[in-house]
Amino acid sequence: MTRKYRFQIIISCFLLLTANTIQSQSSKVPPYKNAKLPIEKRVADLIGRMTLEEKVYQMCALRLGEGDEIFKTSGNYSIDNIRKLMETHGVGHLSCPTTDMNAAKSIKTANEIQKVAVEETRLGIPTIINDEALHGCMAKGSTSYPQSIALSCTWDLALMSEIGDAIGKETFSRGIRQVHAPVLDLARDPRHGRIEETYGEDPYLAARFGVEFIKGVQKNGVICSPKHFMANFVSDGGRDAGNIALSERELREIHMVPFKAAVTEAHTQSMMAAYNAIDGVPCSANRWLLNDLLRNEWGFNGFTVSDWSGVNHVFGHHKIAESLPEAAVLCAKAGLDVDLPRLKSYVNLIQMVKDGKMKESSIDENVKHILRVKFELGLFENPYIEESSAARLEDSPQFRQLARRAARESIVLLKNKNNALPLSAKNIAVIGPNADRLQLGGYSSRDVKGPTPLQGIKNIFGADATISYAKGCDLTGTNKSGFDEALKTAQQADVCVLVMGGRNAVTGGETQDRVDLNLMGVQEDLIKEISALGKPVVVVLVDGRPSTMMNWIGKVDAVLLMYFAGEEGGNALAEILAGKVNPSGKTTVTIPRHTGQLPMPLIHRPYGREGSFAEYPDMPKDKVYNSVSDNRYYPLFPFGFGLSYTTFRYGKIGIEKKEFSKGEEIKLSIDITNTGKMDGDEIVQLYLTDLYSRISLSKKQMKAFSRVSIPAGETKKVTFALTKSDLSFLNEKLKPEVEPGEFEVFIGTNCLEGVAERFRVK
């Protein structure tokens, strides 16, 4: 044997040995940990290795804090306690463990929790840490943006996209990988306590904002769980979590719209079921809702979660089962994958499977949905977060400026008699229970530092003005002992700014439904007494819902609707009062004259009797503050209403022809001229009317809008396009159909003031 041949044999043996070693090593790595394999194969492999207990615990969550049914603490974090609960079977989800921690501690805690899940459990399945992020990450030190109802008043989708991106970055930096947001319920009855969490009453507008929020957040590796699926805020009288006795047509045309967009356009990776029932079937146990509609029809591929203790509510409140374990089976079989936030309800599924009350294969389907998303998030490969990332983003000047911009755009000028605003006076009395209070609304970041309205006014007006303050009264109660001081303060001033309204968990918020929308306590009495002094009066409403104003609006000179405008709201308000910012916000909820008019959203079907009251009225401007007419169909402020310090003129609608074929795109344009002396932003709104339809439709339905900046004296052309879907309605089989006939398009500054043009579809 030649030397060369011997050398070739040695090399071949070495290569064969190396290959076998590599193959042996790779065989030790289970397929589910191989990132190169398709996700479905990884899911199938992992499911096949899991015990029943491990599967069920993936459908469960831990909540660390006071009130937890199994792990009772005073709210103090302990990794040892977490380890005790996770080391045997792991756990799929962890609910809000870092909410009350600063940036450094929260990310350290998140990584410690994840380390237990990944390195100290049998299969090393990472957990998903979830928290709230309705208008900013809820963890301590995060940026607080205006509440959702305020954000919708900006009508600025690009801004919403930026805020969603910022929220995603902050939540990810804390180790939070799932947020219970956005709220896509509609504000069709403002008596409901949680109206502040919505994007207003209109399904199209809510869908547009929801899509931008979800896309912005999810591109940062944080999944969204839009809520509350579905129609949770519209039971009789705006009562929380009531049965929804609406037709499927009504649900599809109105309440499903934003949720469907969240799935089909934004590709949300989770969905939260609501507390309420639909036609007697609780949403958490509604297979038609969670499976037939969401997955089979819309193509949803993520996992569903309960609202907090939702499974327990199915048993304890809806009473559709005789025991909690039986309720858990009903929910899991219906397609509810995860029970938040505690180890209480779904842990019973283990015994129910062993007792033959449920098949393990059914559990497998739930767990597959959860594992698929965990693989998609890359949690198996990258379970930890860089510990310095949260500190870099904490109290970010960039995010604070974004919050200020949002606050500026969100504030709505409702009344401005004789151009009372902007203020020219230098002696300003700031009065009211919300004047020196930072109001953020529900689900807000902890320990946020920001200016109150009083502090903002002092910041912006500075040494050039004399600012005096008196509280006057509380938000609720009958105590008028502060009136004398308030009246004295007002008497010595040139103008009075009254900051009134409400407060989350006091006059509104979760479980805080209302029977009327008047300002609570003696606030209206204070407005009347100060107005009687003859001084110019500006009322600022800081609240989570619109108020009725008929008792006092005719007595004051100007009204600003601020809602909860975030941590920079005080500065933004002052900039508008001073004229440094031109108000541009517009209402996204119809504001009634009287509570008894409710509900009165823009979208409603025609009434079946003729008369001046039969449709949403085109009420003359001079009737707006006239309290003589109590007609229940006249709003105080219509949907889309908002004033500016400048004025805009609408030209004629440009349309290329008057007759179109089905499926043909209809292009429209209109010239908007700023006829005032101040640059301003106008929100141009397009509404469509199908003049004759064999199934009755709402008189006006919003189909498009555009926020446009127009310098003083200039004209800008705004263009729109209507598609086949915009012209369609749901026929007798609940399928989209475009019926030949005449349509009217209306383009205006709100739903009542504008110009119209007609066209036909053949």
What residue type is assigned to position 697 of the chain? L
Q: Tell me: do 384 and 273 sit in the same domain.
A: yes
Angle, helices 103-119 vs 79-86, to 10°: value is 30
Residue 270 has pLDDT above 70, yes or no: yes
Residue 78 has pLDDT above 90, yes or no: no
Give the domain-ending residue among 529, 559, 584.
Answer: 584
Both structure tokens of 490: 């007002």
Q: Taking the CB of residue 412, how many other CB atoms lie within 10 A of it? A: 25
307 is a catalytic site residue = yes
Please report which confidence band the pLDDT of residue 20 belongs to, taking 50, 70 and 90 as the band edges: very low
Q: Tell me: do 200 and 339 sit in the same domain.
A: yes
Q: What is the pLDDT of residue 109?
A: 87
Please report which confidence band the pLDDT of residue 395 belongs to, taking 50, 70 and 90 as the band edges: confident
Instruction: Give the structural domain span for 432.
Output: 412-584
Which pTM value belongs to this model? 0.94
pLDDT in tens, 153-170: 999 999 999 999 999 999
Which of the following is catalytic: 307, 513, 543, 681?
Answer: 307
Residue 2 has pLDDT above 90, yes or no: no
- Burial of 10-43, coded b for 16+ CB within 10 Å and e otherwise, reads eeeeeeeeeeeeeeeeeeeeeebeeeeeeeeebb
Residue 26 has pLDDT above 50, yes or no: no
Q: Tell me: do 375 and 425 sit in the same domain.
A: no
- Asked whether the beta carbons of 759 and 666 are under 8 A apart, the reply is yes
Residue 19 has pLDDT above 80, yes or no: no
Q: Tell me: do 308 and 225 sit in the same domain.
A: yes
Task: To the nearest 10°, report the CA torsion of 68, 72, 77, 83.
Answer: -90
What residue type is assigned to position 340 of the chain? L
Q: Tell me: do 386 and 496 sit in the same domain.
A: no
Please report which confidence band the pLDDT of residue 21 belongs to, taking 50, 70 and 90 as the band edges: very low
Q: Residue 488 sits in a domain of what CATH number?
A: 3.40.50.1700
- The pLDDT of 120-134, averaged and rounded, is 96
Residue 72 has pLDDT above 60, yes or no: no
pLDDT in tens, 427-456: 999 999 999 999 999 999 988 989 999 999
Neighbouring residues of 159: CB distance < 8 A, sequence distance ≥ 6: 151, 405, 406, 409
Please report which confidence band the pLDDT of residue 3 belongs to, taking 50, 70 and 90 as the band edges: low
Give the domain-ending residue among 326, 359, 393.
Answer: 393
Tally of domains within the chain:
3
Q: What is the pLDDT of residue 44?
A: 98
Give the domain-ending residue among 568, 584, 600.
Answer: 584
More confident residue, 713 or 18: 713
3-state secondary structure 137-180: CCCCCCCCCCCHHHHHCCCCHHHHHHHHHHHHHHHHHCCCCEEC
Q: Tell me: do 76 and 138 sit in the same domain.
A: yes
Q: What is the pLDDT of residue 103?
A: 84
Report the alpha-carbon angle 68-55-274, nearest 5: 55
Q: Residue 87 sits in a domain of what CATH number?
A: 3.20.20.300
- The pLDDT of 542-549, averaged and rounded, is 97
- The pLDDT of 115-136, averaged and rounded, is 96
Both structure tokens of 607: 């009434």
9 within domain boundaries: no
pLDDT in tens, 588-616: 999 999 999 999 999 999 888 654 444 44
Q: Tell me: do 171 and 96 sit in the same domain.
A: yes
- The pLDDT of 674-696, averaged and rounded, is 97
Q: What is the pLDDT of residue 394?
A: 78
Percentage, residues of the chain above pLDDT 70 = 92
Please report which confidence band the pLDDT of residue 262 belongs to, taking 50, 70 and 90 as the band edges: very high
- The pLDDT of 502-523, averaged and rounded, is 95
Q: Tell me: do 480 and 356 sit in the same domain.
A: no
Percentage, residues of the chain above pLDDT 90 = 83
Average pLDDT along the chain:
92
- Asked whether the beta carbons of 242 and 236 are under 8 A apart, the reply is yes
Please state, in angstroms and rounded to a whole number, the distance separating the CA atoms of residues 578 and 260: 42
- Asked whether the beta carbons of 271 and 286 are under 8 A apart, the reply is no
- The pLDDT of 373-392, averaged and rounded, is 91
616 within domain boundaries: no
- Asked whether the beta carbons of 72 and 66 are under 8 A apart, the reply is yes
CA-to-CA separations, 685 to 315, 360, 605, 723, in angstroms, rounded: 45, 52, 20, 16
Q: Tell me: do 469 and 536 sit in the same domain.
A: yes
459 within domain boundaries: yes
- The pLDDT of 712-740, averaged and rounded, is 97
Say which range, 130-134, 340-344, 415-419, 717-721, has the weakest mean pLDDT. Answer: 340-344
- The pLDDT of 634-652, averaged and rounded, is 96
22 within domain boundaries: no
Q: What is the pLDDT of residue 11?
A: 53
Q: Tell me: do 567 and 679 sit in the same domain.
A: no
419 within domain boundaries: yes
620 within domain boundaries: no
Q: What is the pLDDT of residue 65?
A: 59
Residue 478 has pLDDT above 50, yes or no: yes
- Asked whether the beta carbons of 668 and 655 are under 8 A apart, the reply is yes
Q: Tell me: do 100 and 240 sit in the same domain.
A: yes
pLDDT in tens, 312-369: 999 999 999 999 999 999 999 999 999 999 888 999 999 999 999 999 999 999 999 9
Q: Tell me: do 113 and 237 sit in the same domain.
A: yes
602 within domain boundaries: no
597 within domain boundaries: no
pLDDT in tens, 610-640: 544 444 445 444 444 444 455 677 899 999 9
